């Protein structure tokens, strides 16, 4: 990671006009403080009169020292997956609802980012997952996931029948609505609503969380980062695999989903006073005694 930062990319939520005002405000602030500012090409296309260069995400990954994402967690998930190969640190500014990943507020954005650019930040490495679907021994689908890889039945179909193997060792056969393979980052997303545990985000662990299993004794399992998870589809009429809800693939009988840790990590930057447990209390509505 380059520090001090010199060239900074600003990335906005696609097709969200509300992002333009804070993005341009931040761009002007950074420019006035002698930083080189570029904007991702999709956001730039919505601001034809902007004086800032529009770059592809690939060009951003190759050229910048830092990327600031303005939007919600969904925007951050998409950008993380596309920039993960370039080791570009990311700061998230929240314009969504929960904001687990985008922890800065637009109200205090300039003050907070100014302090972070002076070195007052916490750097955190987080893992991703790589998912492959093998059909007739050939890879038919590949995608990265920052939150989770989810196999789930369609709306009009019955339960899925499948088996799970870890490191080529048979674990169980299951009838359920699906299975979530989650990173610690994704442990507070769909996995949490399905009864999975919350994992501290910088841990290198993988959670397997069944979705509405037919047998209630099928509980979540936590496994190590070097494990290879194999899901073999035995019986289904309509089932898909989703990666962070951004990419999906229709599955068939005898398809195999292989999920493993992606070799590269993502670097997120947080304000100096960032506290994960305080964030959980605020986002999940936890409180003390009345």
Residue with tokens 């662990």: 205
CA distance 156 to 175: 16
The arrangement of strands across the sheet holding 138-145 comes to 138-145, 129-135, 256-261, 229-235, 160-166, 169-176
CA distance 50 to 12: 14
User: Taking a C-beta distance cutoff of 8 angstroms, is the pair 178, 240 a contact?
Assistant: no
Closest-CA residue to 179 (of 159, 197, 200)? 159
Q: Which helix (H) or strand (E) holds 163?
A: strand 160-166
Torsion over CA: 165, 171, 174, 180 (sign): negative
Dig out the tokens for 84 from the structure: 């993960």
Dig out the tokens for 247 from the structure: 């990419």
132 is a catalytic site residue: no
- Determine how many CB atoms are found less than 10 A away from the CB of residue 242: 21
CA distance 127 to 84: 10
Task: State the catalytic residue, choosing from 40, 49, 65, 73.
Answer: 73
User: Taking a C-beta distance cutoff of 8 angstroms, is the pair 270, 90 a contact?
Assistant: no
Residues labelled as active-site residues: 73
């Amino acid at each position: 990671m380059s520090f001090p930062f010199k060239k900074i990319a600003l990335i906005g939520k696609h097709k969200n006009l509300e992002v333009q005002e804070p993005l341009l405000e931040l761009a002007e602030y950074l420019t006035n403080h002698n930083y080189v500012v570029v904007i991702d090409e999709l956001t730039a296309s919505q601001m034809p009169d902007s004086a800032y260069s529009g770059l592809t995400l690939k060009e951003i990954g190759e050229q910048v020292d830092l990327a600031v994402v303005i939007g919600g967690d969904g925007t951050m998930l998409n950008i993380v997956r596309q920039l993960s190969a370039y080791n570009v640190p990311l700061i998230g500014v929240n314009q969504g609802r929960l904001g687990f990943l985008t922890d800065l507020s637009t109200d205090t954005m300039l003050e907070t980012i100014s302090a972070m650019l002076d070195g007052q930040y916490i750097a955190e490495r987080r893992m991703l997952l790589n998912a492959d679907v093998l059909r007739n021994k050939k890879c038919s689908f590949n995608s990265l996931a920052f939150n989770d890889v989810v196999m789930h039945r369609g709306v009009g179909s019955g339960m899925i029948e499948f088996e799970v193997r870890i490191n080529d060792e048979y674990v169980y056969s299951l009838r359920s609505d699906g299975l979530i393979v989650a990173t610690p980052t994704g442990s507070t997303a769909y996995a949490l609503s399905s009864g999975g545990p919350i994992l501290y985000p910088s841990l290198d662990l993988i959670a397997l969380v069944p979705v509405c299993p037919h047998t209630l004794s099928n509980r979540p399992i936590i496994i190590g980062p070097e494990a290879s998870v194999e899901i073999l589809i035995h019986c289904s009429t309509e089932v898909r695999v989703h990666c962070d809800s951004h990419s999906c693939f229709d599955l068939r009988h005898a398809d195999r989903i292989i999920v493993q840790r992606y070799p590269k990590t993502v670097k997120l930057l947080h304000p100096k006073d960032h506290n994960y447990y305080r964030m959980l209390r605020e986002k999940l509505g936890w409180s003390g005694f009345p």
